[in-house]
Chains A and B, each alone.
Chain A
């Protein structure tokens, strides 16, 4: 995974709550291999219905500002592939669907939770074409003439900053895993 440290540039605005992953990528495209270029499916049906839709398959601003509960619904990691393949590096919203946020962190897509009012202020700035910077190491968003601090799970932060391979990291605990499994299965043979 490519490390993420800082994302700077313009931001697209999607001022709607509850954008579900079925909107981000309709289910019928999930059968495609990743090589098909998931950017082509990003917001496919919404784009078809709205010529002014703020995101396209390419040349997107690196930051997306969205309404609350972004990425709710299906666990499809394709929603993250679509955003990442289309050049989005960071999504800022008042809240995210849990599974979406987890998937994002495994694919180098940064999700930043900010209070509703801060997101609204950033949206106003973005609509005027003002750029912003998301600094993961400092846990800061700089834009709309201010510096806004955000919280992030420390494990998620480290993984994103270092671009760590999850499975490799876990297998450094091989001995503990093996011992745990043996003990659990001995004590609860029915669970096998």
Chain B
């Protein structure tokens, strides 16, 4: 009998070409996603006179630099326009499929991978973007890489990796009403710390995770990197298989059945061991909000802004004080009631159809008292939302309905939060300046951001929305 193995072990072992004397493994890469920002890597390839090894396993999409204002107008920013054009030029030169700005499949790279059936259980998938862990929601071994590694994959379709340690995060119980995967991952990072999973690959498990939809699992895995882990995975199950069936690039008919036989064997075997086990009670998680500029600064919305004096040592006290100064928050004040200037609903964390439905459910028949931008994660998401009339809910509430892309998540495509302004955002990073120089970001779920738009302040969505 073979020793019990984890989901991670199974995918890793199936892709290990060879292991060097020093213990690093050369891994075969099944899927490589590139975007406009990958231009550095294509430059390296060209500089060294190398060719793209597997155009059929390389997929490109324009997302980071595309504007969210209506398409059809030229991109005003010449540098951004140049990078978008450069992706298409590289695709033409090297012969891979790229979804440019006018492609009906276009969207944020971590939204379109699963959506198009590019992401599948048991594959290795990499992308020059740290939120690549998102794809692990389907049971793929997916992680973000830097530009030199992108160039390495372009040229060899392989990567040298050291096997990480394994951490299982088990969530018991069931999430309460008004509590989402976003709240869960913020609670997990608050519990283990922003560097709590450095050097580890995470498997999310337990009944509360099994009960999550496919899209909610993507939200969960998306932010594994915010706990320091490059990889977050969920074992594929019937929820996964139902999601994949019929996707454009997913295997069909007999090929699907053969794949299913492989995929059903991927789940972690009973008795397999992890280097670290963490457990959390899902039913105890409340809607979460970040107050600071690191990801472990998330607290239940019912909480208070911390006092620097609560820090364990001088460094921790200085760290809290610095963050409060940047965020312009007084210690001890309730998080609920902090006035906000604008909202952003979108990103690879929370820009999928279920996220838009959750936000629309709060906004239907209500009015936003602050401006806000709602940006679907892809063209197909946008189409679906419009077919359901969600766009009208948002515009009737006074919010702007944008074209798919990274948008205000990172402030490089014309959408940014002005210096000193406070934004309720559904994206994944609250770093100083992330949404624009001097911008103040409070991360939360789509329903919480919608509720904040209506109140003009951070509120507990469970109190604001009476069923």
Contact = CB atoms under 8 A, between A and B. Distances in A.
Contacts of B141: none
Contact of A75 (B57, B145, B151): B145
A73 B410 CA distance: 12
Given A23-B432, A69-B195, A77-B40, A17 B120 contact: no
Contact of B120 (A30, A72, A78, A191): A191
Contacts of B315: 15, 17, 67
A162 interface: no
B157 A153 contact: no
A166 B148 contact: yes
A186 interface: no
A121 interface: no
Interface stretch (B20-28, B358-366, B373-381): B20-28
B411 A28 contact: yes
Contacts of A22: 429, 431-434
A162 to B, nearest CB: 13
A191 B123 contact: yes
Nearest to A107: B148
Q: Which of B37, B230, B258 has the most CB of A within 10 A?
A: B37
A178 B300 CA distance: 52
Given A23-B433, A26-B433, A30-B37, A190 B258 contact: yes
Contact of B50 (A16, A98, A167): A167
A188 B124 CA distance: 13
A18 B28 contact: no
Interface residues of B, number: 68
A27 B156 contact: no
Interface string A136-172: 0000000000000000011100100000001100110
Interface residues of A, number: 57
Contact of A99 (B123, B146, B256, B412): B146
Contacts of B412: 27-28, 30-31
B262 interface: yes
A18 B195 contact: yes
Contacts of B437: 26, 45, 48
Contacts of B57: 192
A29 B346 CA distance: 23
A75 B130 contact: yes
A75 B123 contact: no
Contacts of A87: none
Interface string B249-269: 001000110110010000000
A45 B432 CA distance: 9
A180 B146 contact: no
Contacts of A184: 14-15, 28
B238 interface: no
Contact of B147 (A48, A69, A77, A171): A77
A173 B194 contact: no
Nearest to B437: A45
B199 interface: yes
Interface string B294-320: 100000000000000000000100010
Contacts of A96: 198
B83 to A, nearest CB: 6
B431 A73 contact: yes
A173 B129 CA distance: 27
A127 interface: no
Interface string A78-92: 101000000000000
A171 B319 CA distance: 46
Nearest to B416: A28
Contacts of B319: 16-17
10 interchain residue pairs of minimum CB distance:
A103-B146, A106-B148, A190-B259, A77-B147, A190-B251, A69-B195, A154-B22, A77-B146, A75-B130, A75-B144
5 contacts: A22-B429, A78-B40, A98-B198, A155-B162, A190-B262
Interface of A: 15-18, 20, 22-23, 26-28, 30-34, 45, 48, 67-69, 72-78, 80, 95-100, 102-103, 106-107, 153-155, 158, 166-167, 170-171, 173, 176-177, 180-181, 184, 188-192
Given A16-B322, A31-B79, A177-B28, 10 more contacts: A22-B433, A75-B130, A98-B199, A106-B149, A107-B148, A155-B23, A155-B160, A170-B152, A173-B18, A191-B122
